[in-house]
Amino acid sequence: MFEHGFCLLWNQNLIVGSVLTNGAIALTYYLIPLILYTVAAAANVKIPKSYRNTLLAFACFIFFCGTGHLIDIALIWLPWYWFKTIWDGLTAVANVVALFYLLPMARRFIDFVHMETK
């Protein structure tokens, strides 16, 4: 099994581009929720208990997606394709769980938006 850099022909421009783009994506996956949490904490926003599991599900989803991009960087030098496949499976589970929590809330979000626009 070859590392992904082999597929990139060990072209430095492709490798640097891949590392920079995947690194930037991973960094934003981690920073955006942190910033949102910081803003909510500074505004002293109280999260109702009914929403906490949904937020936790989305936090897991975001963590798995961001870490997947870091694994993509490692794949340039390390042939961890089974690990990446397992990680993608865990990411898929996190996505489905987040969707499971989001669907029942969709109606409440729509009602809230309609109420705010009146």
Give the pLDDT confidence score for residue 13 in this predicted structure.
92
The one-letter code for the residue type at 10 is W
Give the pLDDT confidence score for residue 36 in this predicted structure.
85
Residue 60 to residues 31, 44, 99, 109, Cα–Cα distance (Å): 14, 23, 12, 21
Q: What is the pTM of this model?
A: 0.82
The one-letter code for the residue type at 66 is G
Q: What is the pLDDT along the chain (118 residues), one digit of tens a residue?
A: 788 888 888 989 999 999 999 999 999 999 999 998 888 888 888 888 878 888 889 999 999 999 999 999 999 999 999 999 999 999 999 999 999 998 988 888 788 888 877 7
